[in-house]
């Protein structure tokens, strides 16, 4: 098959390139880091603008979407990219929140940025321990081990109640907006910005690594461990790496939550949280960071819708407390049955259809 | 070829593997010359795939040694082989199903990458150069195999013959010195089979190839040397003409219930 001129080409066109030397468009490779930084900057500006349009409670919710997205995105790296499963990701949020609380209480001079870095380090260390211990576990065994972590770790707060504050947790004060901006920016607004800035920095790292060699290694391991190993990929070590990064993200998300609320309590890192994170990931869509975004949105706003529904029905509090969970669970089942690839999968299929029109 | 026998690329000596009571391999030895095609044949269950598993470190033999380029391979793990220059295709396809054809082959080129963990995380260092070089290298191999136009397709959407080519491209993209092929022709049409024979011959100009195959036409056509396994033992070895004439080989094949696919 040689490339020939179209029949209706004018014969005088002698300079037409005859055998164009395989002008297949080379896959273009954009500078990944710059692209991601630019996208993150845009997103941050969007969040800043949004906080001016909404009230203080909504600002808190925006911040919550941010750190939940980070936790889900970390889980996404583990579940969607490397094919491991964790039912205990809330445990790493617990670690981050308590690391933050303890630092603020015992070393109030440490600046916020340093606390955030510290919680990432602590989370990664915990990830190394857990990841190495569970490296040889697959499927249900890994799920079981991480489940035990989610149940066991918050219990520590009760056991070491003199340090970790028991079931009431730790209460502390964190500075909000800097005094120079008083009157212009509310504390809630400022905290939402700080949290989204932190989250976006972490997401840039996640997006960059997913796009490159490490992400490909993880996906290869997820699809076929034997073939990945034959391609020279150290399977065990790479899986632990994914676990550690994912734990670091969870811990940082926990730190953001503690910073926002000024508390760290064991009940906010229950097994239900771990399961909700995983459910939100599936709901949002496995395999893309966008899935984490939709998942976080769903987690915050479906819970809200569930609460409103319970109020509307005038249910007693013992029933009403469970309505959001039931609501979320039902929606999860419906959405996953309708769109097995989650919200992101459905949206990308939709945009594909629209573009083809 | 060279007048004196070149030093072997790989030597397998006295390899014995038992799975419970089953002797999958007993005292198996073979020598693989560089730039040659060695056929490894035998009826179903003879131990051919098991021998590949031993060579690639998936299965630990009870006894026996493997030497690659004069250096013994001891307690080696599968992921170390790519960097030594050993590649393998699997009896199944073992493609990465949720990755595009291009990404499948880029993973095969992973050993050529230079970035280290910090660079992979941050996009700094050799990240960008790796992306460019590995992609270019993979695209070049896809062109070579005539599958560049499906670079962005998912393997499962392609006809079986093309999927087989993707698997082969993935194994070859890092330019190994030894290629282990486990039944590359199974499920191929006649035309694809002819392409495969040409590819194997082309490979053997730069690397040693070990070919496990049931299609005797292909084996007799491309192999310089053939080793016949039966119930885990080497029952015959030599050039195609010798193996073809050996009554023990005919008996081993006739004794099996499954009649091997006789050509087309
Ligand atoms: N991991 C294992 N555990 C137990 N038995 C095994 C294992 N792997 C292979 N076997 C057995 O070892 C014997 C040799 O198997 P092998 O797969 O090496 O045969 P083969 O020559 O590749 O056959 P085929 O042509 O069917 O692919 C078979 O009886 C098989 O059932
Ligand atoms: Mg086999």
- Tens of pLDDT, residues A111-128: 999 999 999 999 999 999
pLDDT tier at B262, thresholds 50, 70, 90:
very low
pLDDT at A56 over 80: yes
- Other CB atoms within a 10 A radius of the CB of residue A2 amount to 5
pLDDT tier at A169, thresholds 50, 70, 90:
confident
Give me the residues near ligand 2 (ion), CB cutoff below 5 Å. B 49, 91
Instruction: Report the pLDDT value the prediction gives residue A163, as an integer from 0 to 100.
Output: 86
Looking at beta carbons, which pairs linking A21-25 to residues 24 or more positions away fall under 8 Å?
Answer: A22/B143, A24/B139, A24/B143, A24/B148, A24/B149
Instruction: Indicate if A181 and A68 belong to the same structural domain.
Output: yes
How far is Cα A72 from Cα A65, in angstroms, rounded to an integer?
10
- Assigned domain for A14 exists: no
What's the domain range around A325? 270-357
Nearest CA in chain B to A241: B117
- Assigned domain for A206 exists: yes
Instruction: Indicate if A62 and A142 belong to the same structural domain.
Output: yes
Nearest CA in chain B to A220: B96
Instruction: Report the pLDDT value the prediction gives residue A11, as an integer from 0 to 100.
Output: 40
Instruction: Indicate if A237 and A197 belong to the same structural domain.
Output: yes
Residue B167 in tokens: 């698997």
Q: Which atom of ligand 1 is nearest to the CA of B47?
A: 18
DSSP helix/strand/coil, A260: helix
- Assigned domain for A18 exists: no
Which residues of chain B does A31 touch, with a Cβ-Cβ cutoff of 8 Å?
123, 128
Instruction: Indicate if A43 and A181 belong to the same structural domain.
Output: yes
Q: Which residues face B236 on adjacent strands?
A: B228
Instruction: Report the pLDDT value the prediction gives residue B255, as an integer from 0 to 100.
Output: 62
- Assigned domain for A9 exists: no
Of A26, A33, A232, the CB nearest to B110: A232
What distance in angstroms lies between residue B38's CA and the mean position of ligand 2's atoms?
16
Q: Residue A75's closest CA among A160, A143, A159?
A: A143
Q: Is the minimum distance from the CB of B233 to ligand 1 under 6 angstroms?
A: no
The predicted complex's ipTM stands at: 0.90
Instruction: Indicate if A179 and A280 belong to the same structural domain.
Output: no
What predicted TM-score, i.e. pTM, was given to this entire model?
0.87
A29 and B CB contact within 8 Å:
yes
Instruction: Indicate if A61 and A160 belong to the same structural domain.
Output: yes
Instruction: Indicate if A236 and A279 belong to the same structural domain.
Output: no
DSSP state of A78: I
Instruction: Indicate if A144 and A245 belong to the same structural domain.
Output: yes
Of A27, A223, A245, the CB nearest to B139: A27
Q: Residue B54's closest CA among B34, B27, B93?
A: B27
Q: In angstroms, what separates the C-alpha of A45 from chain B's closest C-alpha?
A: 22
- Assigned domain for A15 exists: no
Report CA-CA distances (Å) from B26 to A182, A294, B18, B220, B230. Answer: 82, 57, 8, 25, 10
Instruction: Report the pLDDT value the prediction gives residue A333, as an integer from 0 to 100.
Output: 79
Instruction: Indicate if A275 and A265 belong to the same structural domain.
Output: no
How far is Cα A25 from Cα A337, in angstroms, rounded to an integer?
38
- Assigned domain for A4 exists: no
How far is Cα A99 from Cα A106, in angstroms, rounded to an integer?
11
- Assigned domain for A95 exists: yes
Least confident of A271-280, A319-328, B86-95, B152-161: A319-328
Q: In angstroms, what separates the C-alpha of B20 from chain A's closest C-alpha?
A: 23
* Angle CA B126–B132–B137, to nearest 5: 115
Q: Which residue has its alpha carbon closest to ligand 1 atom 27?
A: B44
Phi-psi category of A186—alpha, beta or left, where left has phi over 0 and alpha has psi -120 to 50? beta
Instruction: Report the pLDDT value the prediction gives residue A357, as an integer from 0 to 100.
Output: 64
Instruction: Report the pLDDT value the prediction gives residue A211, as an integer from 0 to 100.
Output: 92
Condensed to tens digits (0 to 9), the pLDDT of residues B207-251 reads: 999 999 999 999 999 999 999 999 999 999 999 999 988 888 888
Whether B38 and B208 have beta carbons less than 8 Å apart is answered as: yes
From A269, A304, A333, give the residue that closes a domain: A269
Domains of chain B, each with CATH number or no CATH: 7-85+176-264 (3.40.50.300), 95-170 (no CATH)
The count of structural domains within chain A is 2
- Assigned domain for A326 exists: yes
Best mutation target among B78, B85, B103 (most A Cβ atoms within 10 Å) is B78
Instruction: Indicate if A38 and A110 belong to the same structural domain.
Output: yes
Q: Which residues face B178 on adjacent strands?
A: B86, B208
Q: In angstroms, what separates the C-alpha of B246 from chain A's closest C-alpha?
A: 35
Which residues of chain B does A214 touch, with a Cβ-Cβ cutoff of 8 Å?
117, 120-121
Instruction: Indicate if A206 and A62 belong to the same structural domain.
Output: yes
Instruction: Indicate if A277 and A162 belong to the same structural domain.
Output: no
Share of chain B above pLDDT 90, in %: 81
pLDDT tier at A27, thresholds 50, 70, 90:
low
Taking the CA of B53 as reference, the closest ligand is 1
Condensed to tens digits (0 to 9), the pLDDT of residues A148-165 reads: 888 888 888 888 888 888
Instruction: Report the pLDDT value the prediction gives residue A165, as an integer from 0 to 100.
Output: 83
Interface A–B counts its CB contacts (< 8 A) at: 123
Instruction: Report the pLDDT value the prediction gives residue A25, as an integer from 0 to 100.
Output: 57
Instruction: Report the pLDDT value the prediction gives residue A28, as an integer from 0 to 100.
Output: 62
Which stretches of chain A are DSSP H helices?
32-53, 56-76, 89-106, 112-134, 139-159, 161-164, 187-211, 213-223, 225-230, 235-261, 271-284, 289-313, 317-320, 323-338, 342-356
From A269, A285, A320, give the residue that closes a domain: A269
From A236, A269, A302, give the residue that closes a domain: A269
Mean pLDDT computed over every residue of chain A: 85
Condensed to tens digits (0 to 9), the pLDDT of residues A302-350 reads: 888 878 887 888 777 777 777 777 777 787 778 777 777 788 888 888 8
How far is Cα B175 from Cα B93, in angstroms, rounded to an integer?
20
């Amino acid at each position: 098959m040689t490339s020939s001129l179209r029949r209706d080409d004018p014969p005088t066109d002698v300079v037409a390139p005859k055998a164009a030397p395989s002008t297949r468009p080379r896959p273009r490779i954009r500078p990944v880091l710059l692209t991601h930084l630019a996208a993150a900057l845009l997103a941050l500006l969007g969040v800043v603008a949004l906080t001016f349009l909404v009230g203080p409670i909504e600002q808190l919710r925006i911040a919550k979407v941010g750190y939940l997205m980070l936790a889900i995105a970390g889980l996404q790296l583990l579940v969607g990219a490397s094919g491991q499963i964790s039912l205990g990701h809330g445990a790493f949020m617990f670690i981050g929140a308590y690391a933050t609380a303890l630092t603020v209480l015992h070393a109030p001079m440490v600046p916020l940025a340093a606390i955030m870095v510290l919680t990432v380090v602590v989370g990664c260390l915990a990830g190394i321990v857990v990841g190495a211990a569970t490296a040889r576990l697959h499927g249900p065994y890994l799920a079981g081990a991480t489940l035990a972590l989610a149940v066991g770790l918050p219990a520590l707060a009760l056991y070491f109640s003199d340090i970790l504050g028991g079931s009431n947790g730790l209460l502390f004060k964190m500075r909000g907006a800097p005094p120079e901006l008083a009157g212009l920016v509310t504390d809630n607004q400022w905290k939402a910005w700080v949290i989204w800035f932190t989250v976006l920095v972490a997401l840039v790292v996640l997006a960059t690594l997913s796009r490159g060699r490490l992400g490909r290694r993880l996906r290869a391991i997820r699809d076929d461990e034997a073939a990945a190993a034959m391609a020279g990929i150290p399977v065990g070590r790479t899986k632990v790496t994914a676990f550690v990064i994912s734990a670091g993200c969870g811990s940082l998300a926990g730190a953001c939550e503690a910073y926002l609320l000024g508390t760290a309590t064991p009940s906010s890192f229950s097994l239900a949280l771990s399961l909700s994170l995983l459910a939100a990931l599936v709901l949002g869509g496995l395999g893309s960071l966008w899935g984490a975004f939709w998942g976080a949105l769903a987690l915050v706003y479906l819970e809200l819708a569930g609460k409103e529904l319970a109020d509307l029905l005038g249910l007693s509090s013992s029933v009403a407390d469970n309505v959001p969970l039931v609501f979320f669970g039902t929606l999860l089942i419906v959405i996953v049955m309708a769109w097995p690839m989650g919200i992101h999968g459905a949206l990308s299929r939709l945009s594909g259809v629209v573009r083809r029109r | 070829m060279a007048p004196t026998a070149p030093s072997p690329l790989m030597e397998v000596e006295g390899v014995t593997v038992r799975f419970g009571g089953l002797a999958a391999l007993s005292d198996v030895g073979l020598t693989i010359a560089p730039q040659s095609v060695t056929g490894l044949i035998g009826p179903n269950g003879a131990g051919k795939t098991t021998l590949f598993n031993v060579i690639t470190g998936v299965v630990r033999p009870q006894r026996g040694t493997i030497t690659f380029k004069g250096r013994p391979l001891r307690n080696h793990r599968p992921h170390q082989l790519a960097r030594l220059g050993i590649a393998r295709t699997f009896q199944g396809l073992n493609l990465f199903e949720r990755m595009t054809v291009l990404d499948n082959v880029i993973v095969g080129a992973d050993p050529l990458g230079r970035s280290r963990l910090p660079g992979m995380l941050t996009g700094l260092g050799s990240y960008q150069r790796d992306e460019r070089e590995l992609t270019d290298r993979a695209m070049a191999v896809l062109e070579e195999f005539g599958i560049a136009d499906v670079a962005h397709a998912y393997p499962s959407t392609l006809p079986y013959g093309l999927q087989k080519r993707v698997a082969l491209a993935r194994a070859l993209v890092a330019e190994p010195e030894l290629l282990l092929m486990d039944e590359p022709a199974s499920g191929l049409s006649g035309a694809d089979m002819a392409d495969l024979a040409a590819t194997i011959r082309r490979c053997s100009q730069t690397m040693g190839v070990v070919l496990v195959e049931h299609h005797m036409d292909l084996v007799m056509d491309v192999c310089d040397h053939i080793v016949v396994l039966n119930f885990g033992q080497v029952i015959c070895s030599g050039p195609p003409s010798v193996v073809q004439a050996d009554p023990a080989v005919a008996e081993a094949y006739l004794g099996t219930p499954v009649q091997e696919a006789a050509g087309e």
